[in-house]
Amino acid sequence: MPAVDAAWAYRRGLIFIFAVFFVSVQCGVFAGYKSEKPSRKWLSVDAFGLAGSKAKEHPIPKLMKDAEERFKGMLNRQSETLDAAVVEYRNRYDMDPPKGFDEWFAFAKQNEFRMMDEFDGLMEDLAPFRNISGKEFRRRVQQVSSLPSIDIVRVRDGKGSTVNLHNGFDDAEASSRAHGFRRMIEPFEQRLPDLDFPINAKAEGRILVPWEHQKYPNLTTQDSSGGVHSMVGDFTADWRGSGNVWEAYRRTCAPTSPARQLFSSLRPSVVNRTIRALYSTDADPAQEFTFAEGTDTRFSFCDNPWAHYFQGHFFSDWRTISVLYPILSPAKGLGFGDIRIPSHYYHGSTPKYTYGWDAVNMILKDVDDMEMPWELKNDKIFWRGATTGGGSSPPGFAHQYQRQRFVRMASDRSRTEHTVVFLDPSGSGEYLSTVVPASALNEELMDVAFTTAVDKNNYPGGLATMQKELRFSDPVPLGEHWSHKYLVDFDGMSYSGRFMAFLASDSAVVKSTVYQEFFSDWIQPWLHFIPLSSTYKEIYNIHAFFSGPSESTLVAANLTGTLDKRSTHDGDRRLRRIARAGKHWKRTVGRKVDMEVYVYRLCLEYARLWADDRDAVSYTL
């Protein structure tokens, strides 16, 4: 064979190998995407028929109906007597309740608590600690208390106190969450044994235990008698360029998961461009008419590592802890090992986080002074907030954090077209679809803006680019939100501290989150709030269902001059139903005393973990 032909054959072979490799990567990308199996169930757009076709059913009414039935079923199943609660506890957890369970039950009954049996999330948080002894548990409490940004709530002789050990690190957030937890235990602290509770001073989750240490305890250090440094090494408060949350997080995944495969986890830029399209502002009818059954609290980043680029908590500056230490935190993402407690924002009262708080007279009102009748509320989707949502470890990713993505989408004034499905305003009862420019939809439907530029140097291009790409507006008081029917709620550095205030109002909450909180077992999406996927792309069709087609939608569909678009539409009634259900939930399930009942139950379970003889501190009838 001539040398030229041989060289060409060699090059063709390399091209073929590269092509096979590239196709394999692409298939792997989309296989990873299709492997996503969060708790929500997706409703297919294919069965509905877009692009000009007609249909008589919309998925949202069924989602609402199913949600109401699930919540009613859960309420009806709750134990009414102590005996029934003990039996249910044994059936669920295969052990006796903790000592003091009878007093807890009486406290809960006295305060008309409605979720007697719904503590699966709490038990899931505590389960890993049952594999270590009481002595080891107490020692780990003492050790983790010496780390930065950990405060202590200490109970001695039936009285709680807050201890800030500082540990050489001056934390601006020190003690606020600990003080909140101490207030939560006040109604029952006299019934508790001597205990120490390590409280996370930060909003972000802290505990990320590698998979090998979770699954094979015999291969990791179970005896912490060598001291905290033998467990965590030379620990600093922040990463200081020596790591990041994602690198720590992916080690919690199974060795066979995509997140543990370095190439699959990091993704080359050509593949990232393909995946980024899922979160871009470009129109995608399949996503735009796909409604999530719930929020993304069970989304697997281990199976879908590409998605971590779009969630700011993977870029937090605060160092996580790779050892199973008991830390009480207000929220956590799937895979974190923190123990959830109610937020001090929820339990306390402040002008920025509390509906109905009269800061002048220092009283809490049932109706906020700035609340207004439903009929006078604006139909626009409303959000205001700061550009928080992540950190700068590593830097350069702030433009794709959760808040920035939504504000960018809502600020889009391009000719990008979105598919909108709406009820025929002529009264035929059919749903129609059309495509509408983003510029028109955002002008008519969105009132979304940042109020404060935080960490602007971490945004690619700095403040100038941030202001060019994202809308900014003046700050508004919390009460300004009540003039809008739709209140969007997003994660910040962690959970959103305004969620309870939004629920307490007479507005409907549209919530997108990846965080699990203490009440996650107690609340029902599509009944108490509207869940929004992490891509946000269904937001225009959520609005179209509840509020009818906008003027630009009617123009795009050549339906101008038809009957009043609301004449046969009951979406507004359904939206108000969600707003009322959310408010009722806040008044009956999300009260301060409900948080205290939760913490009381947590304290009893915690006290059993603290004890040397755990059988002796169990409750039997």
- Grouping H, G, I as helix, E, B as strand and the rest as coil, residue 149 is coil
Nearest alpha carbon to residue 291 among 120, 43, 466, 505: 43
Residue 513 one-letter amino acid: T
- Grouping H, G, I as helix, E, B as strand and the rest as coil, residue 474 is coil
Task: Please state at what angle helix 82-93 crosses helix 101-110, rounded to 10 degrees.
Answer: 120
Other beta carbons less than 10 A from residue 4's beta carbon? 8
- Asked whether 441 and 541 are in contact (CB, 8 A), the reply is no
3-state secondary structure 506-554: CCEEEEECCEECCCCCCCCECCCEEECCCCCCCHHHHHHHHHCCCHHHH
pLDDT at 5: 47
Task: Please state at what angle helix 539-547 crosses helix 438-445, rounded to 10 degrees.
Answer: 60
> Rounded to whole angstroms, how far apart are CA atoms 53 and 391?
45
pLDDT at 567: 46
pLDDT at 18: 37
> Rounded to whole angstroms, how far apart are CA atoms 151 and 228?
16
Other beta carbons less than 10 A from residue 118's beta carbon? 19
Q: Which domains are seen in the chain, by residue range?
A: 59-63+352-591 (3.40.50)
> Rounded to whole angstroms, how far apart are CA atoms 542 and 60?
8
Q: Kindly list the distances between the CA atom of residue 131 and the CA atoms of 134, 217, 222, in Å, as whole numbers in the listed order.
A: 10, 9, 10
- Asked whether 331 and 517 are in contact (CB, 8 A), the reply is yes
Show the tokens assigned to 11.
């090059």
Rg (CA), the chain: 26
The neighbouring-strand residues paired with 436 are 418
Largest CA distance in the chain: 95
Show the tokens assigned to 331.
């929220």
pLDDT at 224: 87
> Rounded to whole angstroms, how far apart are CA atoms 197 and 232?
20
Q: Kindly list the distances between the CA atom of residue 89 and the CA atoms of 62, 77, 85, 115, in Å, as whole numbers in the listed order.
A: 32, 13, 6, 13
**Tens digit of each residue's pLDDT (9 = 90 or more) over 362-386:** 999 999 999 999 999 999 999 999 9
pLDDT < 50 stretches in the chain: 1-52, 265, 267-268, 270-271, 274, 566-568
Nearest alpha carbon to residue 207 among 234, 229, 231, 186: 231
Show the tokens assigned to 298.
């069970």
pLDDT at 377: 98
> Rounded to whole angstroms, how far apart are CA atoms 205 and 517?
11
> Rounded to whole angstroms, how far apart are CA atoms 621 and 82?
9
> Rounded to whole angstroms, how far apart are CA atoms 514 and 509?
16
Residue 294 one-letter amino acid: G
pLDDT at 328: 98
Residue for token digits 């439903």? 374
Cis peptide before 373 (omega within 30 of 0): no
- Asked whether 231 and 224 are in contact (CB, 8 A), the reply is yes
